[in-house]
Amino acid sequence: MNRRVRAALVCGGQWHDFDYARRELLGELAAYDQVHTRVYQDYEGLGRLRPDEPLITYTCNVMPSEAQRAALAEFLAAGGRWLALHATNASIVPAAADADHLFCTPPLPGNLAQLLGSRFLGHPPIAPYTVTPVADHPFTAGIGSFTVTDELYISQLHPPLQVLAHTSFVGESTGFAEGHTHLDEPRPVLYLKQHGAGTVCYFTLGHCRGRFDLADLGVEDLGCVDRGSWTVPQFRTILRRCLRWAITGQLHPAP
């Protein structure tokens, strides 16, 4: 590419190590000398993106306003590319003191779930699980099944979706009001959601947490950091291919 690309990264929220995720994403974007990345903690100030300005989001409990959602819908309809990572689809609030669960996951505002293609409901306790990619898409070509230790997202889906990688889970999303599953069916990990000329690429992996990121929940120090899928080579490869698509619009697999 011989022109400058203005990318936007929204990275912020609760209960994750956003400093780590931001640094890792900016490090990947730095491989493209034509990219200038504007960084935000939320959607405020993002403004109206042109369709040639890729959007990357890594958030939790960060919701766009009505005006911002309208701008995102226009961005996609005009051909924009949005790479949404991990908890971008998550709205999580503490449950009432007398509830039999710890957290509720209320509906996302307005049309946000329809734009993203999903709404987070819950996840089981963090544990290893297998991700199975499709073989016939450039994002996942040459990558067989791999294991991650990450949050396994159970989501309410808004099809049609082109699922590029999935996992399986039947059981309880412990601590959550929703997300308890009884059907053994594929759980999307990576998918594409078309909006006219534009596309959302959603990748649920990428959990990370620092020692002090649960202080507002009463856990002052976890005693360790959690890097989740970020240490898994297959995750990094797929992420780089997704970022390359967001920046260039090209689907050819990168190394």
Per residue, what are the HEC states of the chain? CCCCEEEEEEEEECCCCHHHHHHHHHHHHCCCCCEEEEEECCCCCCCCCCCCCCEEEEEECCCCCHHHHHHHHHHHHCCCEEEEEHHHHCCCEECCCCCCCCEECCCCCCCHHHHHCEEEEECCCCEEEEEEECCCCCCCCCCCCEEEEECCCEEEECCCCEEEEEEECCECCCCECCCCECCCCEEEEEEEEEECCEEEEEECCCCCECCCCCHHHCCCCCCCCECHHHHCHHHHHHHHHHHHHHHHCCCCCCC
For residues 201-217, b (16+ Cβ closer than 10 Å) or e, as one string?
A: bbbbbbbbbbeebbeee
pLDDT at residue 35, as a whole number = 98
CA pair distance 207, 123, nearest whole angstrom: 12
pLDDT at 1: 62
Is-cis flag, bond preceding 160, omega within 30? Answer: yes
On whether the CB atoms of residues 232 and 148 are closer than 8 A, the answer is yes
Q: CA dihedral in degrees (228, 143, 197, 72; nearest 10)?
A: 0
pTM of the predicted model, to two decimals? 0.96
The string of pLDDT tens digits covering residues 168-179 is: 999 999 999 999
Domains of the chain, CATH where assigned: 5-248 (3.40.50.880)
Counting as low any pLDDT under 50, the low residues of the chain are none
CA-only gyration radius of the chain, Å: 17
How far apart, in whole angstroms, are the C-alpha atoms of residue 8 and residue 50?
Answer: 11
Q: Six-digit token pair at 186?
A: 């594929």
| Buried b or exposed e, range 147-165, using 16+ CB within 10 angstroms | ebbbbbbbbeebeebbbbb
